[in-house]
A and B are shown apart, each in its own frame.
Chain A
Amino acid sequence: MTNPIRITKRADLSRRNEILIRLLAVVLSIVCAGLALMIMGLDPIKIFSSIIEGCAGTELRIKQTIVKAIPLTIASLGIIVAFKMNFWNIGAEGQITMGAFGATLVALNVPPTTPTAVTLLLMFICAVICGAIWAFIPAIFKAKLGTNETIFTLMMNYVAIKFVTYLQYGPWIDPNGGGFPRIAQFTENCILPSVLGVNIGWIFAIICVVLVYLFINHTKTGYEITVVGQSYETARYAGMNISKIIVIAMLISGGLCGTVGMIQASAVEKTLVATIANGYGFTAIITAWLSKLNPITCVFICVAFAALIQGGAYIQIALGVSSAVSSVVQGLILFFVLGSEFFIQYKVSLKHKDKEVA
């Protein structure tokens, strides 16, 4: 026999073994990251403890970790809704950007005397609409013409980012900015309040998690989305209006991403910048996937990821290592955790010689 390794699809895997494989993956990733760090001449224990210190060492750092987990969680939820339907929405980045644009559109145009609650509500609505429109465009093309949504949503990201760049350097440039390319800062009544020292986005995130969980598992539309995701033919057979379902799911997906844009613009940047989405839309694809499209699991994964980002930034400074080091650690952990999926789905065994007689 030429190939001594046999790869077979697992028929069934007990819950216990599944958890064991996942834990193993995490441990292995830490071990290998440690080895890689040693090869680079660094002390892995120091690096790992610094990562933890960096993301949770002080109250401020814990808050900053949560600030990063908020956009990641809500964006992941948006992606989960789309992915449940097998709609590869790679466009969260653009939908976030357009959501931020929508919020800013309101913020720059309301009189400064408008009550905060009113402006924030208007900003929120406008952000959701803009994010949803950005998702609606590829959705309607997919529903009516069957275009490939992966490329479409990806390209929509660039359009959104370029559009905001154009605004930032052109029509929306702050006349009081001294010639620098920035959009005016939001006035006080356009800024989301903080609760327990962190912007109110964390409460939004929790509400969104619950709503998305209920939506997917306990509504007819959520059920339809899952069926469409599994098989178009079955959905057609069951009399579902597939086009309508695709559009609804993407409006929700884009609306959630738009909410992220609103939070980032209003609470974090307090203005609109072209890089407002800051890669969260892409990272959220990974977190959504790692959480196996489960909205509850997604919270934990996103917090872990935020911690990794936050801790990674800290070691750069605390230990004076290059930013590449934290990328290596993150990359290795991802590699193993994603790699473990393979072992959960497939069984790899060595062929035994004595059984090959026949």
Chain B
Amino acid sequence: MVIITHKLNEVMEISDRVTVLRKGKSIETLNTKDVKVSQLIELVVGKKVDLSISKDIIEEKTEILKMDDVTVLDPEGKNALEDVSFELCTHEILGVAGVANSGQKELCEAIAGLIKVNKGRIFFDEQNIVGKTPREIIRLGIRMGFIPEDRLGMGLVASMDIVHNIILKDYQNQPGIVLRRGPCIEKAKRIVQELDIQTPGITTPVKKLSGGNIQKVLLGREIDSSPRVLITAYPVRGLDIGASYKIYDLLNEQKKKGVAVIFVGEDLDVLMDLCDRIMVLCHGKVTGIVDPEKVTKDDIGLLMTGHSMEEIEADKKEGELDD
């Protein structure tokens, strides 16, 4: 049996032998029991990486975004989000967990003003932004960054170069009818340098870059607009471990600067390590907002499949009694 995965824990748990592939070449084949995860990572990435995600709890939090009883219908008229309420503060990363298609996409797009909210309100600094288009939200002076799940299909224009992708966020604030490239060229150079983006140049179409570098372009652009809220949907999907950890570092940096970050993820270990709080969605409903320090991965798993925290607590107590 062959299993192909980038989740190294899975490899360690179920495989007997492991072959590491990098850039189409077979690097090495080893017996699983003879290697450690860190060695494997080194082989995958090609260099040593720091595998720890730091988490600084910052106390000075102020509420910046609040979702109040929001319902969003999908095109078939079913609830994609149902009565979702939560608040988001500065200096924190709010994780969003859930099995795929539990309303994560709708949650992000509702905040960004990209889809119709059928019920409820979303406050940004006490200002209700429901019913406003992205353009109107920008006009209100609200600085929001959004890394959508589909980075080449939504966040970027695949066939355009880095400069023109950076203009995407910038041009609406330019006066007049003329498109000014100058400032964006500077910005592009800076982002390439700061995020260490591997590219032949700033005029290379982004679709020709690797997944990690594409994500850095997108993230770099969003961060560069100094957002106060940064929404990231699966920002490390498809990236190798090295690139993933670079992204986590960047998000942590933003948090320290006071940005309120929403992190939609699928790897529970990462969610637990990175986030200050985790909101769990199931069929568009919030089943719990938990502190990762106080719950286990199993608890989150149960929340993801529709159990409530109360049920889990009750079960736990029962279990203890049984013991």
A residues neighboring B (CB under 8 Å) = 11-12, 217-223, 226-227, 230-231, 233-234, 236-241
- Extra contacts, 13 of them, besides A217-B179, A226-B157, A239-B137 (Cβ < 8 A), are A220-B177, A223-B167, A230-B157, A230-B158, A230-B159, A231-B157, A234-B153, A234-B156, A236-B154, A237-B146, A238-B172, A239-B172, A241-B133
B135–A223 contact, CB under 8 A? no
> Given A236-B114, A238-B134, A239-B133, does the pair A220, B157 have CB atoms closer than 8 Å?
no
Bound-state CA distance A234–B113 (Å) is: 13
A233–B154 contact, CB under 8 A? yes
Which residues of chain B are within 8 angstroms of A238 by Cβ–Cβ distance?
A: 134, 168-169, 172
A227–B154 contact, CB under 8 A? no
A234–B155 contact, CB under 8 A? yes
Bound-state CA distance A117–B97 (Å) is: 70
Which residues of chain B are within 8 angstroms of A11 by Cβ–Cβ distance?
A: 208
Bound-state CA distance A70–B157 (Å) is: 34
A220–B164 contact, CB under 8 A? no
B187 to chain A, nearest CB (A): 16
Which residues of chain A are within 8 angstroms of B154 by Cβ–Cβ distance?
A: 231, 233-234, 236-237
- Residue B160 is within 8 A (CB to CB) of chain A in the complex: yes
B178–A219 contact, CB under 8 A? yes
Please name the residue on chain B nearest to A12 by beta carbon. B208
Which residues of chain B are within 8 angstroms of A220 by Cβ–Cβ distance?
A: 171, 174, 177-179
Which residues of chain B are within 8 angstroms of A227 by Cβ–Cβ distance?
A: 157, 160, 168
Which residues of chain B are within 8 angstroms of A12 by Cβ–Cβ distance?
A: 208
Bound-state CA distance A231–B135 (Å) is: 17
Interface of A: prevailing SS: helix
Bound-state CA distance A181–B155 (Å) is: 58
- Residue B291 is within 8 A (CB to CB) of chain A in the complex: no
Among B114, B157, B177, find the residue whose CB has the most chain A CB atoms closer than 10 A: B157
Bound-state CA distance A239–B156 (Å) is: 13
Among B134, B138, B158, find the residue whose CB has the most chain A CB atoms closer than 10 A: B134
Bound-state CA distance A227–B138 (Å) is: 18
Bound-state CA distance A240–B114 (Å) is: 11
- Residue B150 is within 8 A (CB to CB) of chain A in the complex: yes
**What are the 9 closest A-B residue pairs judged by CB atoms, nearest first?**
A239-B134, A239-B135, A233-B154, A230-B157, A238-B168, A237-B154, A223-B179, A220-B179, A219-B177
B88-114 interface bits toward A, Cβ cutoff 8 Å, 1 = contact, 0 = none: 000000000000000000000000111
- Residue B212 is within 8 A (CB to CB) of chain A in the complex: no
Please name the residue on chain A nearest to B174 by beta carbon. A220
Which of B148, B179, B208 is within 8 Å of A237, CB to CB?
A: B148
B162-190 interface bits toward A, Cβ cutoff 8 Å, 1 = contact, 0 = none: 00100111011010011100000000000
Interface size on B, residues (CB 8 A): 30
Bound-state CA distance A32–B155 (Å) is: 46
B115 to chain A, nearest CB (A): 9
> Given A12-B208, A220-B171, A223-B167, does the pair A237, B155 have CB atoms closer than 8 Å?
yes
Bound-state CA distance A238–B170 (Å) is: 9
B179–A218 contact, CB under 8 A? yes
Within 8 A of A (CB), among B6-24: none
Bound-state CA distance A238–B156 (Å) is: 9
Bound-state CA distance A244–B208 (Å) is: 31
Among A11, A221, A226, A239, find the residue whose CB has the most chain B CB atoms closer than 10 A: A239
Which of B135, B156, B178 is within 8 Å of A218, CB to CB?
A: B178
Between A and B, 27 residue pairs with Cβ closer than 8 Å are A217-B179, A219-B177, A219-B179, A220-B171, A221-B177, A222-B179, A223-B167, A226-B157, A227-B157, A227-B160, A227-B168, A230-B160, A231-B158, A233-B150, A234-B157, A234-B168, A236-B134, A237-B134, A237-B148, A237-B154, A237-B155, A238-B134, A238-B169, A238-B172, A239-B113, A239-B133, A239-B138
Bound-state CA distance A236–B116 (Å) is: 13
A237–B158 contact, CB under 8 A? no
B158–A223 contact, CB under 8 A? no
Which residues of chain B are within 8 angstroms of A236 by Cβ–Cβ distance?
A: 114, 134, 154
Please name the residue on chain A nearest to B200 by beta carbon. A12
Bound-state CA distance A240–B157 (Å) is: 14
Which of A223, A230, A231 is within 8 Å of B171, CB to CB?
A: A223
A10 to chain B, nearest CB (A): 11
B153–A231 contact, CB under 8 A? yes
Bound-state CA distance A237–B150 (Å) is: 11
B206-221 interface bits toward A, Cβ cutoff 8 Å, 1 = contact, 0 = none: 0010000000000000
A86 to chain B, nearest CB (A): 12
Please name the residue on chain A nearest to B160 by beta carbon. A230
Bound-state CA distance A12–B204 (Å) is: 11
Among B148, B168, B169, find the residue whose CB has the most chain A CB atoms closer than 10 A: B168
Which residues of chain A are within 8 angstroms of B160 by Cβ–Cβ distance?
A: 226-227, 230
Among B112, B138, B160, find the residue whose CB has the most chain A CB atoms closer than 10 A: B160
Which residues of chain A are within 8 angstroms of B179 by Cβ–Cβ distance?
A: 217-220, 222-223
Bound-state CA distance A221–B177 (Å) is: 7
Bound-state CA distance A217–B168 (Å) is: 14
